[in-house]
Amino acid sequence: MPLFSQHRNRRMTSAPLQLATPEPAGTVATTLLHRYRPLETRAAGGFGSVEICLDTRLQRRVAIKRMPLTAQAAGELHQNMGMALAEARTASLLQHPHIVSVIDFSYDAGYAYLVMEYVDGMTLEEFLQAVNGHSLTYDEAACIADALIQALSYAHSNGVLHLDIKPANVLIDRSGHVKLTDFGMASLASAAGFGGARGGTIGYMGPEQIEGLEVDERSDLFSLAAVLYESLCGAAPFRAATAPESLERIQAGVTPPHELLPDMPETVEYALMSCLSPHPESRIAESSSLGDYLATLGKAREGRKSLERMIARLTSDEPEDELEDGASEAASVSINPAQGALGTHWPGFQAQLSRGLSGVAAVYLMTFMLSHASMLQLGAPAIASISLALGIASFFAPQLGAAIVLMVHVLLISFQTPFLSVLLVASLTSALAIAWWLTWGRAHAQVATAFLLAAAASCVPGAPYLGAALVLPAISYWLMPSLTACALAPAFPFAACLMAAATHQGSLTNSDALAMIMEPRFLICAIGLLSTTAALSAVCRRASHSFDTSGSHGLFYLASCMPAILISVVAALANHMEITGSSTLDLPIGVGLACLSSILVWIYAYSFGFSSASWEGDLQ
């Protein structure tokens, strides 16, 4: 039984974990599915074995679950396995940072196969077996719970159930990142002849799954709660030799967690007891609601750091005393590539950087607008005070900063331009700004931040629009390709209107705004920079996926070269389309900004890591 103190501070005293090493898979087969060369058998159990294989086509490691077909399943192969594969392929479409990617499904006369990405680390089952008390700290449990709830929320929103959540299906890599595996495995296991409860595991299935009744999202939440209860309390509450025995234990109920852990938060205990109810209608219905109840469990970020340290210790071949002697030194100099140099030592730095840049951009935009508002006749101290106040507000709430900047722009041009001359542009700007803010700017802080940054950088003297090249690397890391368009599509026209108003002492007529936006240079820069950022975002995420699955960061070299090439092309085209009378666009400046943008891509990757889970997690 775990002691209360173990959930505050746990010191690892056991020896590094020695994983069981079954007979090498290479002795069984030369290749699997004519493509995968077995390297080792990682685990073997009732459902078959897990083979670590080399993908001979892509030269990467994969994990293959291989289940022998029972005689009955072999006789009904095409009828059962066809349906199971269809359901499993649906599950394989799930792409999420906390879900193990599924590469392929197949079967032959003797086996069913599930080919997945290889995760270098441990299962939660192995972790619990190795640590003192066979339990997690509150922070570690919070990290596990947060990852699994995110994974289930995404899966359930796409109509996919897991139905076999258990510690053996929770993977923790060497950076402490948690992933849920075996989506689609329950269907394959059932079709292969392993039990009649849709392939679940005794001890983690709810009563409805054991009895073969209708299952839904609440069945997964029951299994998740059973895993969390075991992880915190040190014992699986419903584990039994047979399904009927497990069902009896479920009906009898579990020991309230506070009797084992007196300091457990009440909301956490309520959530666990609710989800472990034998009656589905009495359980919490949605994973997002469960996440709200578990918010007080612990600090997920600290838990991830602890998991990373523990797994490094458990899987190390060095003696325990050497690990203790070098722990502080290693902690001070080691850099986790997934999190980067800054992300490893200052996990919250990226979020603070984002907020700081949002504030700086808001200050610049407000100063730019007020300094060109000739009719207001504001002095420098007044402009500085107003701009600084907006910058502080934007630091804490970028959405508010974006809304104020847009509102002030509309008010200024309306105040300084004859009514009929500004009516169309003011009305259209107001309508579009409100629609954008309600749809994207309010909901996504990073979209609002990217909007402010791109608009401010586009107004930099000497290289109109192309100044945005300096902020595109950060935006491409923060946002998915679709959201980059949501941020930049309004930012460039807004910057064009600001510069048009600046050339007319703050006034902006309908014709001036239209002329500026229809200018070929503007169209080339806006479309080119938006496309470059979206493409860079897509490549960075593909590179991150490659790093997560194989440890390779080669695609980041491609990402770092993209801005230098693409933005230089944009600068050349814009310079070629330069119209006499407009501000001069210096081609060397544009090329220089493009090269600097490429350098910033690599600096950002080195600073904040090669894993998108690290980028997005730090910004939440």
Q: What distances in angstroms separate CA 27 from CA 18, 24, 55, 76, 530, one per listed residue?
A: 22, 6, 17, 29, 53
What is the spatial distance between Cα 374 and Cα 377, in angstroms, rounded to a whole number? 6
By the 10 Å C-beta count (0-12 exposed, 13-18 middle, 19+ buried), 192 is classed as buried
| Domain identity same for 399 and 502 | yes
Domain check: are 504 and 388 in the same one?
A: yes
Domain assignment present for residue 334? The answer is: no
- Is 329 a member of any domain? no
Query: Would you place residue 24 in the very low, low, confident or very high pLDDT band (cuts 50, 70, 90)?
Result: very low
Are 297 and 368 contained in the same domain?
no
| pLDDT band at residue 541 using 50, 70 and 90 as cut-offs | confident
* 307 falls within a domain: yes
- Whether residue 11 is found in the same domain as residue 137: yes
For the cut 50, the answer to whether the pLDDT of residue 382 exceeds it is: yes
CA dihedral sign, ordered 384, 388, 394, 395: positive
Q: Sheet containing 60-68: which strands, arranged edge to edge? A: 36-45, 48-55, 60-68, 111-117, 102-107
CA distances from 183 to 48, 87, 196, 597 (A): 16, 10, 18, 40
- pLDDT higher for 117 or 612? 117
Lowest mean pLDDT among 478-482, 581-585, 602-606: 581-585
The whole domain housing 59 covers: 4-314
Q: Which residues are catalytic?
A: 164
Q: What is the CA radius of gyration of the chain?
A: 28
Q: Do residue 250 and residue 367 come from a single domain?
A: no
Residue finishing a domain among 314, 329, 364: 314
The predicted structure's pLDDT at residue 145: 97
Closest CA to 497 of 393, 372, 360, 362: 372
Q: Note whether 288 and 413 are same-domain residues.
A: no
Residue 328 lies in a domain: no
**What pLDDT, on the 0 to 100 scale, is given for residue 574?**
82
What type of residue sits at position 332?
A: S
| Cβ proximity of 492 and 475 under 8 Å | no
Asked if residue 47 is part of any domain, the answer here is yes
Q: Do 418 and 492 belong to one domain?
A: yes
Give the C-alpha separation, 21 to 570, whole Å: 56
Length of the chain: 620
Tally the domains of the chain.
2
> For residues 193 and 547, what is the distance between their CA atoms, to the nearest angstrom?
36
In a domain, 308, yes or no: yes
Whether residue 365 has pLDDT greater than 80: yes
Instruction: Point out the domain boundary residue: 264, 298, 314.
Output: 314
The 10s digit of each residue's pLDDT in 83-121 is 556 656 666 668 899 998 888 777 777 777 888 889 989
In a domain, 331, yes or no: no
Domain of residue 193, CATH code:
1.10.510.10
Residues 590 and 545 grouped into a single domain: yes
User: What is residue 105's three-state secondary structure?
Assistant: strand
Q: Are 262 and 180 members of one domain?
A: yes
The span from the CA of 518 to the CA of 522, in Å, is: 7
User: Residue 37: left if φ>0, alpha if ψ -120 to 50, beta else—which one?
Assistant: beta
Q: What is the pLDDT of residue 343?
A: 72
Residue 415 lies in a domain: yes
Q: φ and ψ at 202, to 5 degrees?
A: -60, 130
Structure token pair of residue 169? 């299906």
* Stronger pLDDT, 279 or 20, i.e. the higher one: 279
- The mean predicted confidence, pLDDT, of the chain is 82
Distance CA 408, CA 209 (A): 59
Cα 1 to Cα 237, 260, 272, distances in angstroms: 12, 8, 18
Please indicate whether residue 620 or residue 478 has the higher confidence score (pLDDT): 478
Residue 457 is inside which H or E element, if any?
Answer: helix 445-458
Specify the pTM.
0.51
Residue 612 has pLDDT above 70, yes or no: no
DSSP-assigned beta bridge partners for residue 66: 49, 113
Same domain for 250 and 377: no
